[in-house]
Structure 1
Amino acid sequence: MPVLPSWLTEPLWEQFSALLPQRPRYHPDHPLRCHRPRVKDRIVFDKLLQVLRFGCSYEAIADTTCSASTIRSRRDEWIGLGVFSRLNQIALESYDRIIGLVLDQIAVDGCITKAPGGGEVAGRSPVDRGKQGLKRSAMTDGYGIPLGHVLAGANCHDSPLLAPTLDRLSGLGPLPDDITVHLDAGYDSIKTRTLLDERGLRGRIAHKGEKAPIQAGKRWHVERTHAWQNAFHRLARCFERRATMIDAFFDLADAIITIRSLIRRSWITQRWDNRPRRRP
């Protein structure tokens, strides 16, 4: 069974492969050019999708077509080239051009996940008996498209992460004049309101001590996006120790979420050659 449907994997791979540099199958410095050929990028890409989706180790995914060391080395090579971040950026730009990002209504919230191996951005989890955990402060538009994230230890409060999370808006081009930021009761403080006023943003913040369903607003979009991201088990239970690797997997997952939403929402308004017969 494929890790992702073909209507999603193929456009994802076409854009990803366009960002990769051209490499010869055999190393040109070899005197006889008869050594082991380079593993195809598509094979490694499919292996990384399996690691992201199933959350298993590289050794469990490796087989006769591709070894675990090849997956790791190719992963590090692509991270160094910035391919994952560029892929996520292109996915956002395409979505904004075809569907349109709802940037006048954004939501920010944190999510705690497990990090059994610890690492650079892990910390003691207050909800998992002090085990190592990871917190991500995610920002989404009014529909739930991920716009950026900030990683920290699980013992970090949501409020200090709001400013660096909102800084991700600077890379989205022209912004609306009136932006409303939807936040939960964890951000209910004078410091948060002062921060939003300094940035020219309007905040809709739930009040502490009051029931959330009465004033939930549009905060549920970011909660749904957290559920989408946690469906990729490599993010819900992260064994990576370096922050650059975690960011790369998040960029890949966010690109998948964005492209999937783009195809589903444009199915009723757009036409293209390999358009699925049924709505995805």
Structure 2
Amino acid sequence: MANASIPEQYYEAVAHHLPPEQPVGPKGGRPRIGHRVVVRVIWFVLTTGARWEDVPAELGCSGRTAHRRLREWEEAGIWDRLHVDLLGLLKRAGKLDAETVIVDGVTVRAFGGGEATGPSPVDRRKSGTKHTLMVDRHGVPLAIRTAGANASDHKQIVPVVLDYPRVKGTPGRPKELPDELYADRGYDSEGTRALLRWLGIEPQIARRKTPHGSGLGKVRWVVERTISWLKGLRRLRVRYDRLGVIVDAWTTLAASVICFRILHHECM
């Protein structure tokens, strides 16, 4: 049987946010496939990178059904709530330090194109997508935004910063924005620095055409590690889905899986 071993604790975290199971109506009919089975298939596709049509029948749910449910739950905001909930658990556990954030991006090929795609400047202008990640000082993913592969890096910083999550979990008002932001030379822009300072964020962005050895890499390396964790979830290595809503579901779900693994020392 195909391996689709979802941790029970992770399913419990997801189930807390899922809508009630729908019972069979008074006229009878085929019962709706249970949430646990669907989440198991979604986990299988996320971790193995399998196509929807290749989901094994023994998992108890077709790929099409799981695809529909994944979209329904994304549109209902369930994956976003799950992510923020796990960030709150990390904060209570002392594993979240979101005053300082680090931003970097990763480009993946988009077979068949779709929403938020563009010619990749690093892949012979083939269709691709760029994921811009914002992580905390420990590499915890705070937000992921998607754009075409040809989108300018420096134009992605402010949108991803505005996605900064308001994380509860400890006494006091949740922070609305970070205090400091680190990024590499690809994000060098005086306009971006000015906007960040206007928002109250001190930018630590390397400048182009300056010698290496600034020391910023001692802070920035954690985002590269998180990118490697993201690629460990094989559905994120290559984009097959054309719809932006599905891509957003995958990225938020991937962020929640990484948060869960950090919480339970599985990424350390």
Identify whether the pair has TM-score above 0.5, normalized to the shorter chain: yes
Greater Cα shift, 239-248 or 69-78: 69-78
Q: Which residue of 2 aligns with 1:18?
A: 16
Distance 1:55 1:259 in 2: 19
Distance 1:195 1:109 in 2: 18
Q: How many residues align?
A: 260
Greater Cα shift, 150-159 or 180-189: 180-189
For the 8 Å contact 2:140–2:259, the answer to whether it is kept is yes
Report deviation, 1:188.
2.1
> What's the % identity of the aligned pairs?
32
Q: Which residue of 1 aligns with 2:68?
A: 73
Q: Give 1:37-52 correspondences, 5 Å limit.
A: 37-52=31-46
Report deviation, 1:25.
4.3
Q: Which residue of 2 aligns with 1:246?
A: 247
Aligned residue type for 2:157: L
Q: Give 1:263-274 correspondences, 5 Å limit.
A: 263-264=264-265
Q: Give 1:6-155 correspondences, 5 Å limit.
A: 9-26=7-24, 28-30=25-27, 33=28, 35-64=29-58, 65-155=60-150
Distance 1:10-1:190 versus aligned 2 partners, 3 A rule: same
The alignment's C-alpha RMSD in Å is: 2.3
Q: Which runs of 5+ in 2 are unaligned?
A: 168-172
Report deviation, 1:261.
0.5
Q: Which residue of 2 aligns with 1:226?
A: 227
Is the counterpart of residue 188 in structure 1 residue 188 in structure 2?
yes
Report deviation, 1:260.
0.8
Report deviation, 1:199.
1.3
TM-score (norm 2): 0.89
Distance 2:176 2:80 in 1: 24
Greater Cα shift, 204-213 or 78-87: 204-213
Distance 1:76-1:104 versus aligned 2 partners, 3 A rule: closer
Distance 1:242 1:176 in 2: 30
Report deviation, 1:73.
2.4
Distance 1:223-1:36 versus aligned 2 partners, 3 A rule: same
Distance 1:245-1:16 versus aligned 2 partners, 3 A rule: same
Distance 1:39-1:170 versus aligned 2 partners, 3 A rule: closer
